[in-house]
Amino acid sequence: MSGDSLRLPLPFAGLASDTCEATTLYRDLRNPLLRYLVCLGLSADEAQDVVQDAFLTLHKHLVSGGSQENIRSWLFRVAHNAARNRQQSYDRRFGDQLDPELESIADEATPEQVVLEKEKQRRLGQAIQLLTECERECLLLRAGGLRYREIGEVLGIATSTVADTVDRAIRKLAEKCNV
């Protein structure tokens, strides 16, 4: 056998280069995707399944020569649509109020501060339930770091509509939560 180097035309080669970019995408977007899906109402297992399927779909998309532009919004759109399909399949309504445990509060918080913070979270959770589906999704995608244009691509709405929806949703939460 010779000692020459192995050359393979990697399908990720065009994605600003190579599999390093693929692992970077996975590393950078896995948690934001999981967080979005969990906040939509998927269980941990379902969210994990959807994220893995989304990355496998991305692989097929790139191998078949699909566009490499706006990969972030592409991945979120695939995950979003998969979550919607699960909702329709199981006839479930997403958006059940989550009950986050407040372990993020600093250890030195007083009991009063813990109670106040818990109450704030409870009111915020209730306010989120009162948002429309589009308002909730826009805010969750915005919390995931997407720009308005990307949010529009994920949800299939105009960028100006995203701006109006985000504005309306934030005002609603501000009014109900007295933040």
Provide the binding-site residues for another protein, judged by CB under 8 A: 1-13, 17-20, 22-23, 26-27, 30-31, 34-35, 38-39, 43-45, 47-48, 52, 55-56, 59, 63, 98-104, 120-121, 124-125, 128, 139-140, 142-143, 147-148, 163, 166-167, 170-171, 173-174, 177, 179
Query: Cβ 51 to another protein, closest distance in Å?
Result: 8
Distance CA 52, CA 34 (A): 10
Query: Cβ 71 to another protein, closest distance in Å?
Result: 14
- The DSSP code sequence of 2-68 is --PPP----GGGGTTSSHHHHHHHHHHHHHHHHHHHHHHT--HHHHHHHHHHHHHHHHHHHHTT---
Amino acid sitting at position 173? L
Query: Cβ 53 to another protein, closest distance in Å?
Result: 10
Is the CB of 85 or the CB of 105 nearer to another protein? Answer: 105
